[in-house]
Structure 1
C-alpha cells in the first residue's frame, strides 16, 4: 500500500501561488510569480530529486498538470528522476474540465466519488502518490485528512499577497516532525505527518 504525499513551496507568510515563474499563475492579480528563483540552490535540488525518486504515481490539479505538460516533455532526461518519472509514471488529474489530456500516461478523475478513487489509486501503489503544487487540490485533500505526509519547503521571503496553503477555516490538525534540513540559501525543509486533531490547553498548567 502506498501513501499520499504533498510537496509544497511556501513563503514565510504561507503563500504558495506561482513559485516557479511570473506567468505561472497570475490569477487574482498576483504579480509576484517566480519568488523561488533567488533561493533555488543545490540543497533544494537534492531534496526534490530524493522526493521524485520515491514516486509511484502523481496526483495533480488541472492547472499544475497543464503547466507540467507544457514543460517536462521538452526537458526529458531518463537519468534524472524528476523528468524521467514525471514523463513516464501514471498521472491522475482531479478535474471536471480537462477533456483531452495529451501528456500521458494519464487518467482524469472527475467523478462524484473522487475521494474514494484517490484512496483506491493510493492503496494500489508500492511507492508514493505524489501531489506537487495544485493549490486547490492540496487544500481539498488536507480538509479531508487524505495527506499522509507533507513536505513543506519554507522560503525566506514575505509577499503579503497570494493564495495560501492553509486558508482561514481549514481543519485544525496536529503534525509530528519526521525530518528537517536547511539549505545554504536559507530554505527550511520540513517533513510532517498528521497525528490527528489539534489539541488545546493553557501553557504552564
Structure 2
C-alpha cells in the first residue's frame, strides 16, 4: 500500500497561492504571486531534489496540473531530478472539467476523489506525491488520506490568498520528524500524521 505525501510552500500566515510567479494564479485578485522565488538558494534546491528522489507516482489537482504541464514537458535534461521524475512517472489528476491530458503518463480521476485516492493508495506501492494542489489537499486532509507533510515555510506574510488550513479544517495531530532551515531563512519541516490532537490544561 502506498503512502501519500504533500509538498507545500507556505507563508507565515499559511498562504500557498502562486508561490512561483506573478501570473501563476491570480484567483480572487491575488497580487503577490512569486513570493517564494527570492528564497530559492542551493539549500532549498537540495531539499527539492531529495523529495523528488522518492516518488513512485504523482497526484495533482487540476490547477497545479495545468501549471506543471505547461512547463515540465519542455524540460528534457535527464540530469534534472525534478523534470525526469515528473516526465517519466505516472501522474493522476483530480478533475471534473478536464477533457483530456496530453502529458505522457497522465490519468484523469473523474469519480469521487476520496474513493479514487483511497483506491490509488491501495493499488500502488511506495510514495505518491502531491505538490501544491491546495484545494485537493484540503479535501484529502478531511478524510485522513495525507500521511506525510513536507512544509516549506517562508519568512513572509501576505495577508490575502488561499490558505492550506482554512477555518473548519479537521483537527489532526502531526509528529515532527525532521526540520532544518535554509541559508535564506526557509524553514523546512517534515511531519507524519499522528491521529487526533490530545488536550490538557495548565490550571
> What TM-score, normalized to structure 2?
0.97
Q: What RMSD in Å do the two structures reach over aligned CA positions? A: 1.0
Tell me, yes or no, if the aligned pair for 1:142 and 1:171 is still in contact at 8 Å: yes
Deviating above 4 A after TM superposition, structure 1's stretches of 4 or more consecutive aligned residues are none
Following superposition of structure 1 onto structure 2, how do residues 1-205 of structure 1 map, counting pairs within 5 Å? 1-112=1-112, 114-203=113-202
Tell me, yes or no, if the aligned pair for 1:3 and 1:123 is still in contact at 8 Å: no
Task: Give the Cα separation in 2 of the matches to 1:37 and 1:118.
Answer: 31
Query: What's the offset of the Cα at 1:16?
Result: 0.3
Query: What's the offset of the Cα at 1:119?
Result: 2.1
SS of match in other structure, 2:167: coil
Query: What's the offset of the Cα at 1:81?
Result: 1.7
Task: Give the Cα separation in 2 of the matches to 1:162 and 1:68.
Answer: 20
Task: Give the Cα separation in 1 of the matches to 2:127 and 2:30.
Answer: 32
Task: Give the Cα separation in 1 of the matches to 2:58 and 2:42.
Answer: 24
Decide which moves more: 58-67 or 114-123: 114-123
Q: What's the CA shift string for 1:141-178, capped at 9, x where partnerless? A: 11111001000000011111111010000001111011
Q: What's the CA shift string for 1:19-49, capped at 9, x where partnerless? A: 0000000000000000001111111110111
Query: What's the offset of the Cα at 1:104?
Result: 1.9
* Equivalent pairs, count: 203
Query: What's the offset of the Cα at 1:125?
Result: 2.7
Task: Give the Cα separation in 1 of the matches to 2:126 and 2:109.
Answer: 20
Task: Give the Cα separation in 2 of the matches to 1:84 and 1:75.
Answer: 8
5+ long unaligned stretches in structure 2: none
